[in-house]
């Protein structure tokens, strides 16, 4: 964020049809998804491994609406969020993620659940809490080179 100005957010990205601000809003959404999925992953981590398969199937089944919501949300946020607002939201979500990480102890890092593999190329069929907290950075790395300087 520090390397981009307010004007840079309005400029076209290297992803055709998207602005830099829209790409950054989409990247931020990856952090939000991780924070939102933490309670579910933690809960299912204590249940039999196969118990989360139907939920993952359901999420895979609604991939189309999820993708539309994801794109629309990023495009709208990219148009209305200022440089400052994106930074504030990231700081809030990052702080939440750090609190969530601090609450995990020992062997619980290996607990996990089945995930919708159609939602994101970095999701795997089964993800542990450790995988979940690596996801936002992997998602960022996937899109980082789409930001035009």
Question: Tell me: the pLDDT tens digits for 100-111?
Answer: 999 999 999 999
Instruction: Tell me if 147 sits within 8 A of 13, measured CB to CB.
Output: yes
Is residue 128, in this structure, part of any structural domain at all?
A: yes
Total domains, the chain: 1
Question: Tell me: the pLDDT tens digits for 12-23?
Answer: 999 998 999 999
3-state helix, strand, coil in the chain (%, to 5): 70, 5, 25
For the cut 90, the answer to whether the pLDDT of residue 71 exceeds it is no
**DSSP letters spanning 80-127:** H--HHHHHHHHHHHHHHHHHHHHT--GGGGG-EEE--TTT-TT--SEE
Greater confidence (102 vs 71) lies with 102
Q: What six digits make up the tokens of 87?
A: 């930074």
Q: Tell me the average pLDDT of the chain.
A: 93
Report residue 128: phi and psi, to 5°. Answer: -85, 175
For the cut 90, the answer to whether the pLDDT of residue 81 exceeds it is no
Is residue 125, in this structure, part of any structural domain at all?
A: yes
Measured CA to CA, the distance from residue 103 to residue 98 in angstroms comes to 9
Domain of 95, in residue numbers: 21-144
Is residue 16, in this structure, part of any structural domain at all?
A: no
pTM: 0.90
Is residue 85, in this structure, part of any structural domain at all?
A: yes
Is residue 63, in this structure, part of any structural domain at all?
A: yes
Is residue 3, in this structure, part of any structural domain at all?
A: no
């Amino acid at each position: 964020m520090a390397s981009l100005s307010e004007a840079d957010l309005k400029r076209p990205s290297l992803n055709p049809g998207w602005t830099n601000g829209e790409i950054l809003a989409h990247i931020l959404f990856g952090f939000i998804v991780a924070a939102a999925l933490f309670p579910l992953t933690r809960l299912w981590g204590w249940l039999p491994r196969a118990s989360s398969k139907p939920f993952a199937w359901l999420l895979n089944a609604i991939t189309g609406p999820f993708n539309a919501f994801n794109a629309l949300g990023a495009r709208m946020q990219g148009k209305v969020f200022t440089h400052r607002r994106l930074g504030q939201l990231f700081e809030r979500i990052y702080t939440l993620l750090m609190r969530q990480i601090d609450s995990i102890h020992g062997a619980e890092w290996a607990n996990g659940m089945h995930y919708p593999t159609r939602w994101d190329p970095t999701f795997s069929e089964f993800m542990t809490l450790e995988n979940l907290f690596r996801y936002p950075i992997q998602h960022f790395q996937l899109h980082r080179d789409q930001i035009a300087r």
